[in-house]
Amino acid sequence: MEPVELVKILLKSAAFEAGDTIPVQFTCDGDNVSPALELDNIPAETVSLAILMEDPDAPSGTWTHWLVWDIPPSATIEENSSEGILGKNDFGTILYQGPCPPIGTHRYFFRVYALDTKLELPAGSTRPEMLKAMEYHVIGSGELVGLYSHPALT
């Protein structure tokens, strides 16, 4: 059986360019709301989308800030979006928690996944539960990386 080639989804935000600083309003130093995300090249077979935002530079290892699934593929991911079902982040909350590095500049990876099914996980499920449910269902993905450090610490 041939391996399935994943479609590359173009993921961007009007709030910041890839590799640039994430504006304060989307962080713990600001309003702590999720940025609007723009998706292009979503596979036609997509049944739902999932988003994962993580900080791989956290002292304790990769830190999950936001996870949401069962987003309709036609949805517009607005600022402070409430589309989809939210999972439990590593802060122990079921909501978006923006960048808040303890020291230095950290990278924040926003990843979107096109799925050939709905995950139908209950709200508050964890990253490992989400990733397990996504196994064998990802048909496309995209990534956007932003940077952040506390203004007072730079």
pLDDT tens, position by position, for the chain (154 residues)?
455 678 999 999 999 999 999 999 999 999 999 999 999 999 999 999 999 999 999 999 999 999 999 999 988 899 998 799 999 999 999 999 999 999 999 999 999 999 999 998 999 999 999 999 999 999 999 999 999 998 875 5
Q: Is 4 exposed, middle or buried (0-12, 13-18, 19+ CB in 10 A)?
A: exposed
Domain for residue 143, yes or no? no
Tell me the C-alpha to C-alpha distance, in Å, between residue 101 and each of 22, 40, 98, 107: 12, 30, 10, 9
Q: Which two tokens stand for residue 51?
A: 């988003």
Domain for residue 123, yes or no? yes
> How far is Cα 33 from Cα 41, in angstroms, rounded to an integer?
25
Q: Looking at residue 4, what is its pLDDT?
A: 62
Domain for residue 110, yes or no? yes
- Structural domain of 51: 7-137
Domain for residue 133, yes or no? yes
Domain for residue 34, yes or no? yes
DSSP 14: S
Domain count, the chain: 1
